[in-house]
Amino acid sequence: MKHSEIQYNGCKSHNPNPQRRKVTRDNWQHGSEGFSHVTCVSADVWRKEDLLVTMLKLLDKISPTECPKLLHRVVDGLCGRSHPKHIEYAETWSLLEWGELISSLNYFFRIAVGRKCSDEEVQELLGDLEPVHAEAVLQCVHARQEEIRQALVDRTNRICSTQLDDFNWQLKLALSSDKLSSLNTPLLNLCLDLKENGIQRSVNIEMSKEELNTLITSLEAANKVVLQMK
């Protein structure tokens, strides 16, 4: 189909920056409330960490001798090896409790190692967990932090093997075609300069307004997930 087009050159952006998070009262730890380190995070993350403390209390149900074994097996699963099975701990936790505990432990290890938390910050994340269990968690972090860090790096690399170096866009207005006398349909031509394993390539995409809105929504959702992983 042949189109009569009016083109508007778009702005070419070098090294585009990701969406910045807004800083609100919920983003900051205030010294007057007993916190010393200022960290900018979303309110959703803080709510998740409050929930983490509650779920980690489930760890108190296991004996001090069995606790370190479970923790190291959870780290094994986080690093790509076999996970602990609920059937082995069915007498200690219900299936729902087990799911909450394992999810919380996985999230905790990612946060503690990914943020390079100090021992004091780790203790704060653990809340009022029994001292013997809290010490077991801390020792597990010390012993396995390099393995966990490498697992997080590998996971990030799998997600981000392709990087966006630059982009350019043009707006086209289709005025007429062979089939219709008038379309007046705006089309966006988006050119992405990508780099994958050191090799650069270009991808050209032509989208309608509806397709562009869908792309923007998907990118915003993906950005929210990435921010929560940090």
d(CA 41, CA 25): 10
Residue whose pair of structure tokens reads 């983003």 in the numeric block: 27
| R_g of the chain, CA atoms, integer Å | 25
Q: Quickly state the pLDDT bin for 43 (edges 50, 70, 90).
A: very low
Q: What is the pLDDT of residues 195-219, one digit of tens each?
A: 877 788 888 888 888 888 888 888 8
Percent of the chain scored above 90 by pLDDT? 31
What is the tens place of the pLDDT at every residue in 73-119? 999 999 989 999 999 999 999 999 999 899 999 999 999 999 899 99
pLDDT at 78: 92
Highest mean pLDDT among 14-18, 129-133, 164-168, 211-215: 129-133
Percentage of the chain lying above the pLDDT 70 cut: 70
What's the pLDDT band for 69 if we cut at 50, 70, 90?
Answer: very high
Average pLDDT, the chain: 75
Q: Which two tokens stand for residue 173?
A: 């207005």
Q: What is the pTM of this model?
A: 0.52
Confidence of residue 226 (pLDDT cuts 50, 70, 90): confident
Distance between CA atoms of 126 and 129, rounded to whole angstroms? 6
Q: Is the pLDDT of residue 229 over 70?
A: no
| Contact (CB, 8 A) for 183 and 3 | yes
Identity of the amino acid at 34? G
In the predicted model, is pLDDT for residue 44 greater than 80? no
Q: Evaluate whether 84 touches 74 at the Cβ level (below 8 Å).
A: yes
Residue 195 exposure: Cα atoms within 13 Å on the Cβ side: 6
Query: Which one, of 46, 69, 67, 40, lies nearest residue 56 by Cα?
Result: 67
How confident is residue 190, by pLDDT bands cut at 50, 70 and 90? Answer: confident
For residue 25, what pLDDT is reported?
Answer: 34
Within 8 A by CB and 6+ apart from 130, the residues are 60
